[in-house]
Structure 1
Amino acid sequence: MPTKRYGLNDHPERQNLTAEVHARPYARLSAPERLSHLALLTGGDGADADREHLNALCKRYKLPGPQSDQNHFMADFGPFRLKWERHTEFSTYTFFRQEPVGQDPFSDPVLQAVPHDWLEGIPGQLMVGIHAALESDGEPERNGEALARYFGSESFAGAVVASGAAMAWMDFWINGDGFGHLLVRDRGLEPRRAGRLLQRLVEIETYRTMALLAFPIAKEASQQLDRIGVGLSHIMESMADLQDLEDERRLLRELTRLTAELERVAMATSYRFGAAKAYYALVERRISELRESRLEGYQQFGEFMDRRLAPAMRTCMSVSERLDVLSKRIARAGQMLRTRVDIQLEAQNRDLLRSMDRRAQMQLRLQETVEGLSIAAVTYYGVGLIAYVAKGLKEAGVPLPVEITQGIAVPVVAGLTWVIVRRIRRMVAKGS
């Protein structure tokens, strides 16, 4: 509920918005420290299952678990400390334990102290797994051969980070133990700063992997776009040789099919490409926050990503741009085809109107002919009736010449009939 301070009404979300800035605090780390970091893809509706599983672990160790609306949780379980974070489509679990790193920094990971049955039941699919170690500057320095042995690959990055306060090496690889390896040498880090540094490093790998989820989708979509592009080129070439309206309708149906296929590709890729762009931006930002400088003989983290991640992201962006270009081309082709169909329909309508006009003229001439015949017929029958009347009057003693009367009646009856027919035609025309 809003509260009043000095008579001012708080916005209902003021407290939540302020708390959001402090919702994901960094862990405080002091060398020597071991870490294990997991990132699991759970989808957009996996938060409740994550919290339920966390509560089960807390109940086992008699600790309070996360609340139903929490997306961040930290607790000390004794044998290990745990930090859980919920993101849009994945969750991360980072386990900490302060102990000597030893000669092999990855031989005894923190996950050994976590109940295995609980680990096996974590919801989601594992995307990222990292074993990390934070060692003090007092430990003997490791030469290149030792580092290559620990990372299991000659292709790993290393740099002086945190403005010279630490050195870091990371392989971005899945080693024989199923995890990537990260080693940080503390050269004067404060606990909070050490926590930020380790989190940035594991987030680089996490966001890198999440960004690359779009890469196989981009390759598959590229093949589909190739087919759509070929089909569209065939349609554009065929438009120059169209013979009749049926050909144009056939091409329009084919274009509609390509449009539907392109929309399916767009629906299948738009979210993933948008997410990849956001994840890639986070990777670049985390690398810039490292404030790294060159460590002789090793690629810097920024250089490693420029060579390995940037090309894949450019491929994804290229496919996204091709999708937009094809969508515009199909829209233009559809507009051209619809215009051609409309022109053909207008031509057909014009021919139909001309035909109807000719028929109307023929009907008018036929009507005039019928009217002439009608006047003649009416005149004939009218004069015949007058002849009967004249004969009757003559028989009654009236001296009336029948033939002369018939002759005079012919033009009179014909004229009256013509006048009546014309008046009827005008009345009908005025009523229509």
Structure 2
Amino acid sequence: MMTENTDVTADSAGQTAALRQTLSDEMHARAFNDFEGAGRFVRFVFLTDDADGSVLDYVNAFLVANGATPIDPGWKFQRIELGAFALRLEKHTEFVSISFIEHGHKAGTGLLPNAFDAASSTLPLAWVGGAPAPLFHAIWLEIGGGPPRSNTPERMLEVMQARSVASNLFGDSASQIHFAFDIDDNGFSRIALYNDGIAPNRMGRTIQRIVELETYRLLAMLGFAALRENGASLGRIETTVAGLTTDLAAQIKQPDGQVQQLLTVLSAQAADLEEIYSRTSYRLAASKAYEAIMNDRISGLRLARLKGFQGIRGFLGRRMTPAMDSCRAFSERLARLSERITRAGDLMRTQTEMIIQRQNRNLLRSMNSRARQQLRLQQTVERLSIAAVTYYGVGLVGYLAQVLPLEQWGWHLTLVKAAAVPVIAFLVWLTIRGVKAAIESDDDV
């Protein structure tokens, strides 16, 4: 017995240790890497959960073809050095990212000559296009030297190929960060970073925050896409429920108001609302979480105003905050509408129960009336039966009396019949009463 208990304790301790190790590894799963000099960080984001191994298989085939060790399926994050560049794979709950990192180039000021030039890049960008998962976002971050003296918003619009640029100083230095928040001709969202003497280890953390900011920005907008897809349907349900509530109020005020048909329509609206909720609840909750992560990454950059440029916070505040507010409002509309449907359903069920109770009372009243009528009819039939049986009984007595010597006895036939009437009637009444008593006794049993 002690050996068995020891084995159970050992198994439990082993499971606890494995869990502790897993949780500890998660804290270090996506480590920062130093970034020296100028270069670029190109990230591709695929919408697929971390249980889908197709992207990992695709990456491992590429690594083996290039003489590198494949990535273990159990790893959430891995960085593989491939000579001129590094490949970085990250697996998240609902997306997987493949990134290429080039660093160590020399740039005094400005960006590298081939900045944002996909055609001349030595990175395997075309290979990524064949990944077995839908591409959600592509981010191209260029890291250059110090900011040029003549840097202007017009110049950055040309470099970024964007309709607008959001820019800031960051990191308590003269370093600049410029976001396009747009898609260029090659499908990339461009980001330019001018490094004014930030240390390699700190630059690695900064780059990580920047690419995560851009990744989670667009992931957060998926909630807005779900809102636009389902907003019209939710509006129709709100209109229908409002009409049902008005009709319900009118029916309740009527003595014989009927709500059965309204309840059928309300049930259909509740089913439609539940369908919308099932399609959007996870997406809206995820958008809220992604927005929080994005704001955390912005705070970590320690942004400062760059004269002449619109800031990143201001840009997102004017454009993204309304979208996120709409997502929150959509969630609140779902909750309020669900409560309204529940209240309306309760009222309809209460009204239906009252109608049923009223119908039951009327039915009982009608049954009582019919029972009284049947009792009166039964009593009438009993009296008629006594009279009829007495009549025939008196006739039989008359036949019997005719054969008797009534004249010798001094009796008359008519008097004999008359005397037989109450006796026969009493006997018939006793017989009927006995039969009724026997029937009632059987009913009680």
Tell me the TM-score range normalised by the shorter chain. Answer: 0.7 to 0.9
1:334 CA drift (Å): 2.5
User: Taking structure 2 as the reference length, what is the TM-score of the superposition?
Assistant: 0.85
What is the RMSD of the two structures over their aligned residues, measured on CA atoms? 3.1
The correspondence for 2:69, drawn from 61, 64, 72, is 64
Cα distance in 2 for partners of 1:198, 1:217 equals 30
- Residue type of the alignment partner of 2:318: R
1:208 alignment counterpart? 217
The residue number in structure 2 matching 1:218 is: 227
Give the direction of change, closer, same or farther, for the CA distance of 1:105–1:173 in structure 2 (3 Å limit): farther
Q: Secondary structure at the match of 2:184?
A: coil
Given candidates 9, 25, 28, the residue that maps to 2:31 is: 25
Query: Where in structure 2 are the equivalents of 1:233-382 lying within 5 Å?
Result: 233-242=242-251, 248-382=259-393
1:54-83 deviation line (CA, Å, top 9, x unaligned):
111111112121222322221011131011
Residues 357, 107 of structure 1: CA spacing in aligned structure 2 closer, same or farther, 3 A cutoff? closer
CA distance in 2, matches of 1:426, 1:201: 98
SS of match in other structure, 1:55: helix
Say which is worse superposed, 155-164 or 194-203, in terms of deviation. 155-164
Deviation at 1:103, TM superposition (A): 4.8
Deviates more, 1:84-93 or 1:288-297: 288-297
Deviations 1:176-219 (A, max 9, x none): 33322222233443333222211111111111111112223212
Question: Distance in 2 between the 1:140 and 1:95 partners?
Answer: 26
Among residues 167, 170, 178, which one is paired with 1:169 in the alignment?
178
Residues 1:123 and 1:77: Cα distance change in structure 2 (over 3 Å): same
> How far does the alpha carbon of each residue in 1:207-248 deviate from its partner, in whole angstroms, 9 at most, with x for none?
111111222321232222222222223223333554797963
Which amino acid in 1 is paired with 2:331? S
The one-letter amino acid paired with 1:70 is W
Deviation (angstroms), 1:153: 3.8
Contact 2:44–2:135 (Cα < 8 Å) also in 1: yes
Q: Which of 123, 132, 153 matches 2:132?
A: 123
Note if contact 1:106-1:132 (Cα within 8 Å) is conserved in structure 2. no
1:136/1:115 Cα in 2 relative to 1: closer, same or farther (>3 Å)? closer
Distance 2:279 2:376 in 1: 67
After TM superposition, the structure 1 = structure 2 runs for residues 95-106 of structure 1, keeping only pairs within 5 Å, are: 95-98=100-103, 99-101=105-107, 102-104=111-113, 106=115
Q: Measure the CA separation in 2 of the matches of 1:8 and 1:69.
A: 22
C-alpha distance in 2 between matches for 1:33 and 1:342: 74
- 1:173-212 alignment runs, 5 A limit: 173-212=182-221
| Separation (CA, whole Å) in 2 of partners of 1:331 and 1:416 | 69
User: Structure 1 residues 45 and 34 mapped into 2: Cα distance closer, same or farther (>3 Å)?
Assistant: closer
Alpha-carbon distance in 2 for matches of 1:47, 1:163: 41
In 2, Cα distance between equivalents of 1:402 and 1:19: 124
Deviations 1:343-395 (A, max 9, x none): 23332332222222211111100000011111222223333444444445549
Distance 1:413 1:164 in 2: 128
Q: Distance in 1 between matches of 2:149 and 2:264?
A: 70
Range moving further from structure 2, 31-40 or 305-314 = 31-40
Amino acid at match of 1:306: G
CA contact (8 A) 2:50 2:91 kept: no
Secondary structure of the corresponding residue to residue 29 of structure 1: coil
Equivalent in 53, 56, 63 of residue 51 of structure 1: 56
Take 2:173 and 2:8, find their aligned partners in 1: how far apart are those partners?
Answer: 47
Contact 1:95 1:110 in 2 (8 A): no
8 Å contact kept, 1:34–1:109: no
Partner in structure 1 of residue 84 of structure 2: 79
- Contact 2:390 2:425 (C-alpha < 8 Å) held by counterparts: yes
User: How far off is 1:166 after superposition?
Assistant: 4.1
Equivalent position to 1:143, from 141, 151, 154: 151
2:239 to 220, 225, 230: 230
| Cα deviation, residue 258, structure 1 | 2.2
Is it true that 1:94 corresponds to 2:115 in the alignment? no
Residues 40-60 of structure 1, C-alpha deviations (whole Å, 9 max, x = no match): 223x37631111111111111
Give the secondary structure class of the aligned counterpart of 2:121. Answer: helix
Deviations 1:309-363 (A, max 9, x none): 1110111111221122122222222222333333233323322222222111111
CA 1:431–1:299: 2 relative to 1, 3 Å: farther
- The structure-2 alpha-carbon separation of the partners of 1:381 and 1:111, relative to structure 1 and needing over 3 Å to count, comes to farther
Any conservation in 2 of the 1:162–1:291 contact (CA below 8 Å)?
Answer: yes
Query: What residue is the counterpart of 1:38 in the other structure?
Result: 44
Whether the 8 Å contact between 1:109 and 1:131 is mirrored in structure 2 is no
Give the 3-state SS of the residue equivalent to 2:176 in structure 1.
strand
In the aligned structure 2, how far is the partner of 1:78 from the partner of 1:387?
Answer: 138
Q: Distance in 2 between matches of 1:334 and 1:216?
A: 31
| Greater Cα offset, 291-300 or 399-408 | 399-408
TM-superposed CA distance for 1:157, in Å, is 2.1
Q: 1:59 to 1:8 in 2, by over 3 A?
A: closer
Percent identical: 35
Q: Please name the residue that 2:4 is paired with.
A: none
Structure 1 stretches of 5 or more lacking a match? none
For residues 202 and 79 of structure 1, what CA distance do their matches in structure 2 show? 21
Shift in CA distance, 286/116, structure 1 to aligned 2, threshold 3 Å: closer
- TM-score w.r.t. length of structure 1: 0.88
| Alignment pair present for 1:427 and 2:427 | no
For 1:97 and 1:52, how far apart are their aligned partners in 2?
Answer: 23
